[in-house]
Amino acid sequence: EGPAAAGWIGFLAGMQPVRAGGPRVVVVLAVAENSPAQRAGLAPGDTLIAVDGVPLTNERLRAVQAGLR
């Protein structure tokens, strides 16, 4: 009973350009030890292209993060 605990994925990501002036992609910068992200196989340097089959944009990443709170 009581309030639900906040969710967490366990990784830090940032938007980085594929090439100068080109589209930006989400790149995993760090993964927390024993986190859901680590158990899913994410590693620093991985590029995220979609969440649940939906292309990942900065706005989509924020929406996913907001859904975990």
Domain boundaries, the chain: 11-67
Rounded CA separation 25/22 (Å):
10
Q: Is the pLDDT of residue 16 over 70?
A: yes
Render pLDDT for 21-44 as a digit per residue (tens, 0 to 9).
Answer: 776 778 899 999 999 999 999 999
pTM: 0.66
**How many Å apart are CA 9 and CA 23, to the nearest integer?**
25
In whole numbers, what is the pLDDT of the chain averaged over residues? Answer: 81
Confidence grade of residue 63 (pLDDT, cut at 50, 70, 90): confident
Q: How far apart are CA 28 and CA 22, in angstroms?
A: 19
